[in-house]
Amino acid sequence: MPKIEYTAKQGPKQKDASKIILNDYNGLTQLTPEELAEYEKAKLPENTISMDLRDLGDFTKTVFVSDEYFTHEDIEKYYEKAISNKEHLLAEPKVSIEEDWVQEIWDRVRTNDIKLQSVDLTIHRLGESDKNFETVSTGDLYTIIVSLTPDMLPEDGGTLEFWTPNLTDRMKEYSIDTPYGLSQEKEHNKEIITAVWPKPGRMTIFDSRIPTIMSTITSNEKKRVSLVFKGTTRKEKKEGVAFEIDY
């Protein structure tokens, strides 16, 4: 199975190109590539993808990334499919698993444990971001994002930040088995766990209880195009308490 990869976004206007800007709750921290490697090693140890996670209480560890599922040619083809239909360019574009190219992508990234519940096409443009911290409150629900823009770069924005689930009292209640739940060691430590930029062809899978924020798109020439699959590992369909989130 592919190994987990964790990345931090590179600031588009930073003066020192050798440093990477990593957001935290209180501001910005500049790290050299060597410092970043140490940060990643300390924050999130290397692991392998496994969806047998029902007994894992600390769901904040369930962020997995792989760049091994698609070739550049694949992504160019899927991107053209995504933007070829005029309906896809609407504010809320619609796609269906019945579309051949959508089914083909799902067949590559799906796991035996996850039953698909929905799929969405998201398109973000210059100046757009997603700052909604609302998440589902029940376990066994997962989100899989496939990044489709073939020429996206870190400085173009659109980095997805994964935050600690202690931003609201409601989050703390359902995060009791994590270090960030009510009366837990890090209840009041609000910070980014990790951040993943939308590298072309990148597949990111995570527990849907983890709050996220997408940084602002800074390129006026590129759109951040992604397919977002949502599913459950339960045999019966389980909706939980959910809110709409764009990635």
pLDDT in tens, 115-160: 999 999 999 999 988 765 667 888 889 999 999 999 999 999 999 9
DSSP assignment of 107-131: HHH--SSPEEEEEEEEEE-TT--B-
Q: What is the pLDDT of residue 154?
A: 92
Helix, strand, or coil here: 37? Answer: helix
Helix, strand, or coil here: 94? Answer: coil
CB hemisphere CA count around 74 (13 angstroms):
15
Q: What is the pLDDT of residue 29?
A: 42
The least confident of 30-39, 62-71, 77-86, 130-139 is 30-39
- Give the residue from 165, 160, 195, 153 showing the smallest Cα distance to 39: 195
Q: Domains for the chain: give ranges and CATH numbers.
A: 20-232 (2.60.120.620)
Mean pLDDT across 23-45: 46
Q: Which pair of tokens denotes residue 207? A: 């527990």
Residue 72 burial (10 A CB sphere; 0-12, 13-18, 19+): exposed
Q: What is the pLDDT of residue 146?
A: 98
Q: In which element (H, E) is residue 44 found? A: none
Q: Which pair of tokens denotes residue 134? A: 């609302």
Q: Angle at the Cα of 58 (from 55 to 64), degrees rounded to 5?
A: 90
Mean pLDDT across 58-67: 91
Bridge-based pairing of strands 203-207 and 141-147 is: antiparallel
